[in-house]
Structure 1
Amino acid sequence: MQTNPHGMGRPSTLPVGENGGAGATSGDVVSLVSVTRTYGSRDNKVTALAGLSVGFPAGRFTAIMGPSGSGKSTLLQCAAGLDRPDEGKVIVGGTDLTELSEAKLTLMRRDRIGFVFQSFNLLASLTAEQNVGLPMRLAGRRPKQAEIAEVLDAVGLADRARHRPSQLSGGQQQRVAIARAIVTRPEVLFADEPTGALDTSTSRDVLEILRDLADQYGQTIIMVTHDPVAASHADRVVFLADGRLVGEMHQPTAEAAAARMARLETGPC
Structure 2
Amino acid sequence: MTSPHASAASASATVAVRLRSVRRTYGEVDALDGIDLTVRPGTFTAVMGPSGSGKSTLLHCAAGLDRPTSGTVEVGGVELTGLSERRLTLLRRDRIGFVFQAFNLVPSLTAAQNVALSLRLAGRRPSRTEVRESLARFGLADRAGHRPAEMSGGQQQRVALARALITRPSVLFGDEPTGALDTATSQEVMVMLRELVDREGQTIVMVTHDPMAAAYADRVVFLVDGRVADDLTGLPAERIAARMAAGRTAVRRTTAAAAGAAGHAGVSSC
What is the TM-score when the length of structure 1 is the normalising length?
0.88
Query: Could you tell me whether the CA contact under 8 Å between 1:122 and 1:177 is conserved in 2?
Result: yes
Identity of aligned residues (%): 62
| Structure 1 position 28 matched with structure 2 position 15 | yes
Could you tell me how far 1:166 is from its partner in structure 2? 1.5
Partner of 1:128: 111
Could you tell me how far 1:26 is from its partner in structure 2? 5.2
Distance in 2, matches of 1:120 and 1:135, equals 14
Deviates more, 1:72-81 or 1:249-258: 249-258
The DSSP-based 3-state class of the residue aligned with 1:221 is strand
Relative distance call for 1:114 and 1:157 in structure 2 (3 A) is same
Partner of 2:72: 89
Query: Could you tell me whether the CA contact under 8 Å between 1:65 and 1:240 is conserved in 2?
Result: yes
Could you tell me how far 1:146 is from its partner in structure 2? 2.3
Distance in 1, matches of 2:50 and 2:9, equals 32
Partner of 2:236: 253
The DSSP-based 3-state class of the residue aligned with 1:267 is helix
Distance in 2, matches of 1:52 and 1:26, equals 21
Distance in 1, matches of 2:218 and 2:144, equals 31
Partner of 2:202: 219
| Structure 1 position 64 matched with structure 2 position 47 | yes
Distance in 2, matches of 1:117 and 1:161, equals 20
Could you tell me how far 1:50 is from its partner in structure 2? 0.9
Query: Could you tell me whether the CA contact under 8 Å between 1:132 and 1:177 is conserved in 2?
Result: yes
Could you tell me how far 1:18 is from its partner in structure 2? 4.8
What are the superposed Cα offsets for residues 155-188 of structure 1, whole Å, 9 maximum, x if unpaired?
1111111111121111100000000000000000
Query: Could you tell me whether the CA contact under 8 Å between 2:15 and 2:77 is conserved in 1?
Result: no
Runs of 4+ off more than 2 Å = 17-20
What are the superposed Cα offsets for residues 234-269 of structure 1, whole Å, 9 maximum, x if unpaired?
111111111111111212210010111111111279
Residue-pair matches, total: 245
Distance in 1, matches of 2:94 and 2:218, equals 26
The DSSP-based 3-state class of the residue aligned with 2:98 is strand
Query: Could you tell me whether the CA contact under 8 Å between 1:213 and 1:219 is conserved in 2?
Result: yes
Q: How does 1:168-183 map to 2 (within 5 A)?
A: 168-183=151-166
What is the TM-score when the length of structure 2 is the normalising length?
0.87
- State which of 247, 255, 258 in structure 2 corresponds to 1:264: 247
Relative distance call for 1:19 and 1:78 in structure 2 (3 A) is farther
Partner of 2:218: 235
Distance in 1, matches of 2:184 and 2:10, equals 39
Task: Report the structure number with the largest CA radius of gyration.
Answer: 2
| Greater share of helix | 2
Partner of 2:262: none
Consecutive unaligned residues of structure 2, counting only runs of 5 or more, are 1-7, 255-270
What are the superposed Cα offsets for residues 32-67 of structure 1, whole Å, 9 maximum, x if unpaired?
011011101xxxx10011111001111111100011
Query: Could you tell me whether the CA contact under 8 Å between 1:66 and 1:239 is conserved in 2?
Result: yes
Could you tell me how far 1:108 is from its partner in structure 2? 0.8
Distance in 2, matches of 1:147 and 1:244, equals 42
What are the superposed Cα offsets for residues 102-124 of structure 1, whole Å, 9 maximum, x if unpaired?
01111111111000000111111
TM-align CA RMSD: 1.6
Partner of 1:196: 179
